[in-house]
Structure 1
Amino acid sequence: MNWGIIGTGNMGKVLIHALIEGGVTEPRQLFIHNRTLSKAFDVKQDYPDINVCPTPEKTVKFSDIIFICVKPLDVFPLIKRIQPELNQEHCVISITSPISVQQLEEYLPCQTARIIPSITNRGLFGVTLLSFGEQIDSNLKEYLIQSCKLFSSPIIIDDEITRVSSDIISCGPAFFSYLIQRMIQAACEETDIEYDNAVELAEKMIVGFGKLIEKGYYSFENLEKKVTVKGGVTGAGIEVLEREVGDMFHKLFRATHNKYYDDQKKIMEQLST
């Protein structure tokens, strides 16, 4: 089975690394293209046997499964371009949340799926969110699920929770990286701790925290209770968080969903012209 990836930006590269290092495919079975071709050749420096294609059409020609890893408003112009090269045996996979598999099926003469990755897949961890078109072959569907298991925990989701699920698994690492950076900055400004020391402590704390959750020693709620002693230092900090966080995360989800709906609107306008 040959894999194609059109778009080697951040998430395209994450998928390339995950597919190869997770053992899903060998570099020689992977065909990639990027609009700025030099960026695709940058990837080839890591995997010399990978195939860089000069055009999206060539990528489709040599691939069985094709990931579309471009911005939402670039997806359908790209699909229109590669459509003549597709047949019923191909499977086109979008990684973008505003475009449903039903929309893909409507415009493509092949099998379709949506697989939303996370940057955590780069380390062969985290979640991928899966949705499948009605025309997909059951064997191919199972093959894609098993492939994703080699570098993630695949979860099949309904379309109506796509955005919020993506917020948690895909945007979440960026959100929490921002919060950790703010915590480190405040620690340096309020105390005598050196920045590098604070970063090291925070990194090791995050890794340890993840292991505790991964191994099932604690739930989020139980972990908070175990660390927080009534009248203690952690409790004093939790009181600040309770006062200050307020509806911050409500506003965050509203903002991401507003952007999601705006993208959907622009895509529909694009398709109606």
Structure 2
Amino acid sequence: MKVGFIGTGSMGSILIEALILSGALNPEQIVATNRTIEKTERLAAAYPKLQIAHSNIDVARSCSIIFLCIKPAEYKTVIDDIKGEAGPECIVVSITSPVMVKQLEGLLNSKIVKVIPSITNYVFSGATLCVYGERMGEDDIELIEKLLSPISAPIRIDERHTRICSDLSSCGPAFLAYFIQKYIEVAVQETGISKDDATRLACEMALGTGKLLTAGGFTPEALQERVAVPGGITAEGLRIMEKELCGLFSQLIHTTHAKYEEDLEKVESRFFGTSVD
């Protein structure tokens, strides 16, 4: 099996490296290309058996699975390149959230999947969100999830919920890292603790909390109840957070959804000329 990657920017590179380092794919199974070919050459230098393709057509000709790790503005060009080569048995995997499965099914004869990865996949953790097109059979779905399982938990979602699921799984690491960053900065400013010590403590805390909320079987609510003794320090801190942060998360979701709707409209009007129900 040959797996192609069109686009080896930030997320494309993360996926390729994670799949190789986890053992899900061997470098010789991967064919990759990029508009700036030097990015692909750097990957091939790190993984010498990875094959560099010098065109999108070459990827489509040689691969049974093709990952499109590109921006919405690039879809028209890429699809025009590959549609003559990506046949009915080919699985095309888009990782771009505002590009809809039905849109791609209307432009390609291939089987279509939308997969939304996360930076956490680089350490073989977190989720990959999966939306399967109508042409995907159970064997095809099993193949994709077998490929993704070594680096993530593949989770099937309704495409209508792409944005909120992405907020939680893909944007979430950046949001959580921002919270931790600000917590560290204030700890240093207010108490004089060294930044190195505060960073190590906060990051180890985040790691342990993640394990408690997954392997440990705790829900967020149960974890708070276990730590916060009534009338104690943690309970007082939670009271302040409830008061000050209550509206923040609604604003966050409204903002990300508004940007997503804007991106959907741009994709529909500029690159596909269609609207999706």
TM-score (norm: length of structure 2):
0.95
Shift of 1:117: 0.7
Contact 1:73 1:266 in 2 (8 A): no
Higher deviation after alignment, 73-82 or 184-193: 73-82
Shift of 1:45: 2.4
In the alignment, does 2:75 pair up with 1:75? yes
1:48 corresponding residue in structure 2 = 48
2:140 corresponding residue in structure 1 = 140
Give the 3-state SS of the residue equivalent to 2:218 in structure 1: coil
- Structure 2 distance, partners of 1:75, 1:19, is 24
- Structure 1 distance, partners of 2:150, 2:197, is 35
Give the 3-state SS of the residue equivalent to 2:151 in structure 1: coil
- Structure 1 distance, partners of 2:121, 2:92, is 20
Give the 3-state SS of the residue equivalent to 2:25 in structure 1: coil
1:272 corresponding residue in structure 2 = 273
Give the 3-state SS of the residue equivalent to 2:192 in structure 1: coil
In the alignment, does 2:85 pair up with 1:85? yes
2:3 corresponding residue in structure 1 = 3
- Structure 1 residues 131 and 217, CA, compared in 2 at 3 Å: closer, same or farther? closer
What runs of 5+ residues in structure 2 fail to find an aligned partner? Answer: none
2:199 corresponding residue in structure 1 = 199
Amino acid at match of 1:237: G
1:177 corresponding residue in structure 2 = 177
Aligned length, in residue pairs: 273
2:131 corresponding residue in structure 1 = 131
Shift of 1:72: 2.1
- Structure 2 distance, partners of 1:129, 1:268, is 22
What runs of 5+ residues in structure 1 fail to find an aligned partner? Answer: none
Contact 1:34 1:40 in 2 (8 A): yes
- Structure 1 distance, partners of 2:137, 2:9, is 29
2:12 corresponding residue in structure 1 = 12
1:165 corresponding residue in structure 2 = 165
Shift of 1:242: 1.1
Contact 1:65 1:93 in 2 (8 A): yes
Amino acid at match of 1:80: D
Contact 1:88 1:110 in 2 (8 A): yes
1:109 corresponding residue in structure 2 = 109
Give the 3-state SS of the residue equivalent to 1:144 in structure 2: helix
Alignment of 1:256-271 (within 5 A): 256-270=256-270, 271=272
Please provide the CA RMSD for this pair.
Answer: 1.4
2:99 corresponding residue in structure 1 = 99
Shift of 1:217: 4.1
- Structure 2 distance, partners of 1:64, 1:139, is 14
Shift of 1:136: 2.0
